[in-house]
Chains A and B, each alone.
Chain A
């Protein structure tokens, strides 16, 4: 087993991550403004930006889902109980005692079990909640005449707002996690360059060096 710098975040994945980040920041700012928490934008401007940003994010997600399945990278997000407890225990206690992080990135498993579970929940619960309710919100004019439409709209608005709060909390934790272990910079760099230290089996190492030399340093 050898620790090598390997390309684990391809160009699309990095583009996806950073544009998603930018769009979510825009959506949060405009969305909470529309909600009435601040007055940084005119309502009309905020609605326009929010709608364009949401449309862009939906398109981005469509590409990302396609990418996840065609490249088989969806496997990185499969939940596993194996090692989950150790990671939880590390962040709750071990980190304070100077223990070593129990997880080692593998070529086909770049997230630790807690990360994988968190991202999976984000992908299959929070994001769908917010985009489904967002679309229902946008297309209200199509269903405004069903019985109790305003009651349903209120429910849609609540779920949309609730999901926004949850995503905001996620984003704070996500950013905080970058400060643990390595330095903040070392955590962010892989999402910029794509390369990170990964524990490779001799076979993986040999394969990458021979067939994918651009992916290994």
Chain B
């Protein structure tokens, strides 16, 4: 517990900046040293589980390191090819060009409808870059010693990062007085990444615990069986990499390139398929055929993603997610100072801020029934380069296609995020907003949106009309974590019903949901008329002469 809490506090401080969601703050000293199941038992990392070397015995690691890059140099002295491999992955590049649409994606470029953009705010946002010191355009992406091995491989739970530049004083105060890192100790205790390691960033995307994804929260650090059957700390205890299988530091399972329908299943015997799909372990007929039900469920695999039935709700486990965000109300101050308002107590008892001067208003929700839609795996992003028609709101930050007729499409669950966010009202484009910085144009300091946008755009030579407004946007997050035990999976009636979960889904005839109104009317009239005819016939018989017997 001690270790986990240390990390959580660090995470809370670092990622959430001036807006730590957990309150009141716990300090490491206040918690008891109590082992959690995941620390007692190593997490299952899939086929890569090692055990051929004890890093504590490595000579090169028997030293007190002064800096992260020094540790990295030591790592690379044995792992000679790893630097080159690592530099190809998105944790390093933050850069991805969609091979099908040609769109320039990657955290470095994209705009999201949470804290809007990392670009120009790297001093803060690049804490979650797996490298050291990215604070502006001068970062050297070819320098292997800038790779941060420890953020993923720290096995002590004591490693943390702080923003790469200090930001406005109102925020930077949060990062003072952190316990000094013992880099030598950490280096000698490296391990395969645990859920805590990945979760440092991935559980806290969007500025706080579970804010962004809805299905990735700190509740997954030590999840009970009913929250996630695979990560269940007392059960299978999968680490993230058990599914997000890794080859040369490139991970399977990407939101940029979603495998919406896996038609290969487990592959050939002994074959390793570098995908994170359910089918790659469970095969294409995942329900053992011992009943009509199982037989029918296996039919569903071709049109319904596993996640649709097996993740009945997301944001479970006591940690809420943000579903609505309104930047229009950001910037209010009291006596010239920014402030927060509590307004939501989530399932695990923690309070969440529903207003922050630096970000605006939020709506939280938990145990959310997803939105469902046909999805072919291809996202189309509204990027900084996209001109949109602002009379057609909401604007989809990442729209997607899919239909019953498309062979790659299946019905998927989604988190829908709705945000009113700043945009260039003159050019009808999204904008880079300069939120974090040491200068006086940074919004998190001056609360002047116009200046922050002008600066954010000017820094990258982008055209800004000078007139900003707020646009209603949606983003769509395919739900794939928090897989419930099979007893909690959806029942047939959840969809096969008039007002079921798929009430609005088009392109398919769904028994139990769909009727021909006319056929039903004609059928009922025909049967009714038959009964009426019988009744009349019987009455006439009753009141006429009587029958021959």
In the complex, which residue of chain B has the Cβ closest to the Cβ of A155? B509
Return B154 CB to nearest CB of chain A, in Å: 47
- Which parts of B502-549 form the interface with A (CB within 8 Å)? 507-509, 511-516, 519-520, 522-524, 526-527, 530-531, 534, 537-538, 540-541, 544-549
B514-A154 in contact (CB<8A): yes
Question: What are 26 sample pairs from A and B whose C-beta atoms fall under 8 A apart?
Answer: A35-B511, A35-B512, A35-B515, A36-B515, A43-B492, A43-B493, A43-B512, A44-B293, A44-B491, A44-B492, A44-B493, A47-B296, A48-B292, A91-B537, A96-B541, A96-B545, A100-B548, A154-B509, A154-B516, A157-B511, A161-B520, A162-B519, A162-B523, A165-B526, A172-B530, A172-B531
> What sequence of 0s and 1s flags, for each residue 153-168 of chain A, a beta carbon within 8 Å of any chain B beta carbon?
1100110011011101
Task: Flag whether A69 is at the interface (Cβ < 8 A).
Answer: no
Question: Which of A56-64, A119-127, A178-186 lies at the interface with chain B?
Answer: A178-186
A36-B497 in contact (CB<8A): yes
Task: Flag whether A176 is at the interface (Cβ < 8 A).
Answer: yes
Q: A97 to B547, alpha carbons, bound, how many Å?
A: 7
A158-B519 in contact (CB<8A): yes
B491-A95 in contact (CB<8A): no
In the complex, which residue of chain B has the Cβ closest to the Cβ of A164? B523
Q: Give chain A residues whose Cβ lies under 8 Å from the Cβ of B493.
A: 42-44
Interfacial residues, chain B to chain A (CB-CB below 8 A): 291-293, 296, 299, 302-303, 404, 407, 491-493, 496-498, 507-509, 511-516, 519-520, 522-524, 526-527, 530-531, 534, 537-538, 540-541, 544-549
Q: Give chain B residues whose Cβ lies under 8 Å from the Cβ of A168.
A: 527
Q: A162 to B515, alpha carbons, bound, how many Å?
A: 11
Task: Flag whether A106 is at the interface (Cβ < 8 A).
Answer: no
Contact partner of B530 (CB less than 8 A), chosen from A96, A158, A169, is A169
Contact partner of B547 (CB less than 8 A), chosen from A44, A162, A173, A180, is A180
Q: A44 to B527, alpha carbons, bound, how many Å?
A: 27
A47-B292 in contact (CB<8A): yes
Q: Give chain A residues whose Cβ lies under 8 Å from the Cβ of B492.
A: 42-44, 47
In the complex, which residue of chain A has the Cβ closest to the Cβ of B518? A158
Question: Which of A9-17, A79-87, A139-147 lies at the interface with chain B?
Answer: A139-147
Closest 10 CB pairs of A and B: A165-B523, A43-B492, A96-B544, A98-B545, A169-B530, A141-B299, A154-B509, A43-B493, A48-B292, A100-B548
Given contacts A47-B296, A96-B545, A98-B545, contact A150 B519 (CB under 8 A): no
Q: A181 to B546, alpha carbons, bound, how many Å?
A: 10
Q: Give chain B residues whose Cβ lies under 8 Å from the Cβ of A48.
A: 291-293
In the complex, which residue of chain B has the Cβ closest to the Cβ of A37? B520
Return A52 CB to nearest CB of chain B, in Å: 7
Contact partner of A173 (CB less than 8 A), chosen from B497, B520, B534, B545, is B534
Q: A3 to B303, alpha carbons, bound, how many Å?
A: 64
Q: A131 to B538, alpha carbons, bound, how many Å?
A: 33
Q: A127 to B229, alpha carbons, bound, how many Å?
A: 47
A34-B534 in contact (CB<8A): no
Q: Give chain B residues whose Cβ lies under 8 Å from the Cβ of A101.
A: 548
Q: Give chain A residues whose Cβ lies under 8 Å from the Cβ of B526.
A: 165-166, 169
Q: A179 to B541, alpha carbons, bound, how many Å?
A: 11
A161-B523 in contact (CB<8A): yes
Candidate in A36, A51, A101, A182 with the most chain B CB atoms within 10 angstroms: A36
Main secondary structure, interface of A, reads helix
Q: Give chain B residues whose Cβ lies under 8 Å from the Cβ of A150.
A: 404, 507-509
Task: Flag whether A204 is at the interface (Cβ < 8 A).
Answer: no
Q: Give chain B residues whose Cβ lies under 8 Å from the Cβ of A44.
A: 293, 491-493
Given contacts A154-B509, A157-B511, contact A172 B296 (CB under 8 A): no
Contact partner of B498 (CB less than 8 A), chosen from A34, A36, A164, A183, is A36
Q: Give chain A residues whose Cβ lies under 8 Å from the Cβ of B548.
A: 98-101, 181
Q: Give chain A residues whose Cβ lies under 8 Å from the Cβ of B540.
A: 96
Q: A150 to B405, alpha carbons, bound, how many Å?
A: 9
> What sequence of 0s and 1s flags, for each residue 21-45 of chain A, a beta carbon within 8 Å of any chain B beta carbon?
0000000000000111000001110
Q: Give chain A residues whose Cβ lies under 8 Å from the Cβ of B545.
A: 96-98
Given contacts A44-B491, A141-B302, contact A98 B547 (CB under 8 A): yes
A34-B511 in contact (CB<8A): yes
Candidate in B296, B507, B540 with the most chain A CB atoms within 10 angstroms: B296
Name 20 extra pairs, CB < 8 A, besides A161-B519, A172-B530, A172-B531: A35-B515, A36-B512, A42-B493, A43-B491, A43-B497, A47-B492, A48-B292, A51-B292, A91-B537, A95-B547, A98-B544, A98-B546, A100-B548, A150-B509, A162-B523, A172-B527, A173-B534, A176-B534, A179-B538, A181-B548
In the complex, which residue of chain A has the Cβ closest to the Cβ of B523? A165
Q: A36 to B523, alpha carbons, bound, how many Å?
A: 14
Q: A40 to B86, alpha carbons, bound, how many Å?
A: 59
Q: Give chain B residues whose Cβ lies under 8 Å from the Cβ of A166.
A: 526
Return A187 CB to nearest CB of chain B, in Å: 12
Q: Give chain B residues whose Cβ lies under 8 Å from the Cβ of A180.
A: 541, 547
Q: A181 to B549, alpha carbons, bound, how many Å?
A: 6
Q: A145 to B497, alpha carbons, bound, how many Å?
A: 24
In the complex, which residue of chain B has the Cβ closest to the Cβ of A55? B292
B544-A52 in contact (CB<8A): no
Q: A96 to B519, alpha carbons, bound, how many Å?
A: 34
Q: Give chain A residues whose Cβ lies under 8 Å from the Cβ of B538.
A: 176, 179
Q: Give chain A residues whose Cβ lies under 8 Å from the Cβ of B531.
A: 172
Return A183 CB to nearest CB of chain B, in Å: 8
Candidate in A34, A150, A173, A183 with the most chain B CB atoms within 10 angstroms: A150
Q: Give chain A residues whose Cβ lies under 8 Å from the Cβ of B523.
A: 161-162, 164-165
In the complex, which residue of chain B has the Cβ closest to the Cβ of A162? B519
Q: Give chain A residues whose Cβ lies under 8 Å from the Cβ of B541.
A: 95-96, 180
